[in-house]
Structure 1
Amino acid sequence: MSEQSAFNQSQVAQEAYVEPSGVLDQLNLPPGAIRFIRNNKRTLQFIAAIVVTAIVVVSLYSSYRKKRLESAASSLSISMEAEGDAKVTALEHVVSEFSGTPSALWATVELGHIAMKEKDYKKAEANYLLVRDQVSEKNPIYGLLTFGIAQAREAGQSYEEATSAYDELKKIEGYKDEGYLGMARVLEAQGQNKKALAVYEEYLGSFLGEEQNPGATRIIKEKIVRLSVQE
């Protein structure tokens, strides 16, 4: 009788035992989704591994990029403190070592300024052009670089190219005055007074509807009168 009782207890325990549910079952996913995941487990594991690897790579690259930008900025700061040939060498190091960073662009611009001071106008123009080609026209530095290019060409007596640069400059917001005056000045230097006069007249006409600078207006009118007399 006791053996029968023990047997019954074992049987009841076996019948009462329920196999633990899988993780997928606990997520309350639709049966179709569960079957799909189980049938494609290896593929999904492979995809998951790729995703995780991509996340890690992006994270590491972001960290590397941040450190590189910080190093570039530090090197640029140190370079700007140097003088003479040492400054040029340091700036060139920033350009070559940290290519593609804002610091490298600023170092190139500074090399252009140095070249201008040393009257190496072709080199100055080349540096300004190199940077301008890498920035958007909406970038505030675009106009400044165009102005630098125009000045370098004018100083180097590349008058036709300078006229073209000043013509472009006068269309950039904030540089209208420099553009018109520079363009007219270059034309005068070439003896093209009639064209210079036309530029001054166009410049004066552009003041309509704007708050006028009495001093600038007077100077332009004087130039117009002077050139008109010479014609």
Structure 2
Amino acid sequence: MRVTFFCLSLLLSATPSWSQEALGLAAPDEVTDSGLLQHILPRFSLKTGIRVVADDTGAMSLGGSPPGDPVFARHGVTYHLRILDDTKQLRFRDWLLSDIGKRTVESFAPESGPPYSASLTVEAATETDKIDGDAVLGAELSMTHCGRCHVIGPQNQMNGLGSTPSFAVLRAMPDWSDRFQAFFALNPHPAFTQIEDVTPPFDPLRPSPIHPVEMTLEELEAILAFVSAIEAADLGAPLQLQ
């Protein structure tokens, strides 16, 4: 088995969303080309406010054994993350090793080839599912962007589509946070949703069938904060998720 290392290095970068230094992540071409980094890095930034960008200037080494922490595997290759003794870099490593980070990696569906596995024999770090967004703004954004299909609350109780779950029902699901964070990748949302700096532009030959939903990561975080504060629907027996 080959073991690939990829390393995290600091670099200065203009970051208008978070106004701070970005962490540069160097990774093998097969990881970068698969699209995994575009999938996980914005989600880490959304959770923590720490921006991480793919950058090929970081140190990268190949070898048959660590150093580094094994974080995920694919095609028989276990990828190890090597970092400096830096608070933000430690936070990124701990997030990747946490249950939330593992679910984020394994929820990524490559266009070709097998998915990544994060179910490695490592000690998972504890990740606090803390959301710091503006819940008041999130309530407004939820009505603006989601209220045409979902029942947000009493304010549009009669306006949601019968085929779509209400926010209260979604909030009752054990993985509600994951569903909301990745909603733009879950059907039917990709056909009409654009998240700034995350989703690719619409194909000119396949424009959005409805007025597109356009938002930033900060706005998505505000919606998450709002949903985290609403009362979950009483669904009786535990849901059996497929």
Q: If the TM-score is normalised by the length of the shorter chain, which range does it land in?
A: under 0.3
- Larger RCO (CA within 8 A; separation ≥ 6): 2
Structure with the bigger percentage of strand: 2
Structure with the bigger percentage of helix: 1
> TM-score under structure 1 normalisation?
0.23
For the pair shown, the structure with the greater C-alpha radius of gyration is 1
